[in-house]
């Protein structure tokens, strides 16, 4: 029986493909819109990035590639044996450029984010009141329109922030792509999982 790997259809896809090919592992060749694809002795699931940890936690996929940001946000109970080194980015607090950022001055800071859990924890752990407005995307426009005081979002280069008159004020978390493994698969399919981990480790050096 072959291992099932969950991959994100989003920004980590290109890096995942490059890594699997470098490791000499099978990878599907342009199967169009098919979401479950067999390649060699592996089976691939292409899903939304926030869903990768879920497929692995339930054991529907034995392994997956997910951003640390996503792992922190979903809190999935999975193993994380490898930092794959690509997809580096940071989750930050950004507030309107030129305006003072002072969450301690207000009883409640309103924060717009896709990362509702991370955003809430960031403020609450510092003893600051917070109201999180959960958005699915285009978070950068929330402050300009008066929906929120600041945003918590992921940045790679910072260009999108600057284009929307936002400035990074605090780092919430550092992120990169991780290989994640289901707890049961790790033991019950040890040889196959260890083989995959070893190949990916070698290729991600």
Partner 1 sequence: MTARLTQVPPGAQCFVGEEARERRRIEEAVVSVFEGWDYEEIIPPLFDYAEVFAGEALASKTYSFVARDGSLLALRPDFTSLLAKIAAGRLRERPAPLRLYYSGEVVRYEPVRAGRQSELYQMGLEHLGGDARAADAEVVAIAAECLERLGARGFVLALGHVGVFSGLVEAAGLAPERVEALRERVESKDPAGVRQVLQGASVSSALAEAFEQLTTLGGGLEALPRAAEVFSCCAGAGAALAELRAVADALASAGLGRHLAVDLGEVRGLDYYTGLVFRVFAPDLGFEVGSGGRYDTLVARFGRPLPAVGFMLGLDRVALLLERQGRLAAVPRASAEAVAATELGAGLKEAVARRARGARIRLGNGGER
The answer to whether residue 194 forms part of the interface with partner 1 (CB under 8 A) is yes
Query: Which residue of 10, 17, 38, 80 would you call a contact of partner 1, by CB under 8 A?
Result: 80
Query: Which residue of 77, 104, 156, 202 would you call a contact of partner 1, by CB under 8 A?
Result: 77
The answer to whether residue 190 forms part of the interface with partner 1 (CB under 8 A) is yes
The answer to whether residue 37 forms part of the interface with partner 1 (CB under 8 A) is no
The answer to whether residue 189 forms part of the interface with partner 1 (CB under 8 A) is yes
150-155 and 109-113 strand pairing: parallel
Query: Please, which of residues 81-100 interact with partner 1 by CB under 8 A?
Result: 81-83
Residue 200: left if φ>0, alpha if ψ -120 to 50, beta else—which one?
A: alpha
Q: Which stretch binds partner 1 (CB under 8 A): 55-63, 88-96, 101-109, 164-172?
A: 55-63
Residue closer to partner 1 (CB basis): 83 or 165: 83
Query: Which residue of 47, 143, 182, 196 would you call a contact of partner 1, by CB under 8 A?
Result: 182
- Residue 115 near residue 73, CB atoms below 8 Å: yes
Residue closer to partner 1 (CB basis): 21 or 183: 183
Min dist. Cβ of residue 59 to partner 1 (A): 2
Rounded Cα–Cα distance for residues 84 and 52 (Å)? 15
Q: Which stretch binds partner 1 (CB under 8 A): 96-104, 111-119, 127-135, 189-197?
A: 189-197
Rounded Cα–Cα distance for residues 34 and 26 (Å)? 16
Rounded Cα–Cα distance for residues 78 and 159 (Å)? 33
Q: What angle do CA 171, 50, 46 make, to 5 degrees?
A: 135
Query: Which residue of 60, 128, 141, 169 would you call a contact of partner 1, by CB under 8 A?
Result: 60
Min dist. Cβ of residue 143 to partner 1 (A): 31
Query: Which residue of 65, 150, 185, 200 would you call a contact of partner 1, by CB under 8 A?
Result: 185
Q: Across the strands, what pairs with 155?
A: 90
Both structure tokens of 170:
């605090």
For 86, 98, 173, 177, the CA distances from 118, given in Å and listed in that order, are: 21, 25, 9, 17
- Residue 63 near residue 201, CB atoms below 8 Å: no
Q: Which chain residues interact with partner 1 by CB under 8 A?
A: 1, 56-60, 77-83, 178, 181-190, 194
């Amino acid at each position: 029986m072959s291992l099932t790997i969950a991959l994100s259809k989003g920004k980590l896809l290109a890096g995942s493909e490059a890594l699997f090919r470098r490791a000499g592992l099978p990878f599907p060749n342009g199967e169009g819109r098919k979401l479950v694809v067999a390649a060699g002795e592996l089976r691939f699931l292409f899903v939304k990035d926030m869903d990768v940890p879920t497929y692995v936690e339930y054991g529907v996929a034995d392994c997956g590639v997910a951003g640390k940001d996503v792992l922190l946000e979903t809190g999935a109970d999975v193993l994380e044996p490898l930092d794959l080194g690509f997809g580096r980015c940071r989750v930050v607090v950004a507030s309107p450029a030129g305006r003072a950022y002072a969450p301690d001055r207000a009883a409640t800071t309103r924060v717009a984010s896709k990362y509702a859990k991370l955003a809430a924890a960031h403020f609450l752990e510092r003893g600051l009141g917070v109201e999180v407005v959960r958005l699915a995307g285009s978070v950068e426009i929330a402050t300009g329109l008066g929906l929120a005081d600041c945003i918590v979002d992921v940045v790679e280069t910072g260009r999108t922030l600057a284009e929307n008159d936002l400035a990074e004020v605090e780092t919430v978390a550092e992120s990169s792509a991780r290989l994640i493994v289901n707890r049961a698969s790790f033991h019950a399919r040890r040889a196959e999982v260890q083989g995959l981990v070893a190949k990916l480790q070698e290729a991600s050096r």
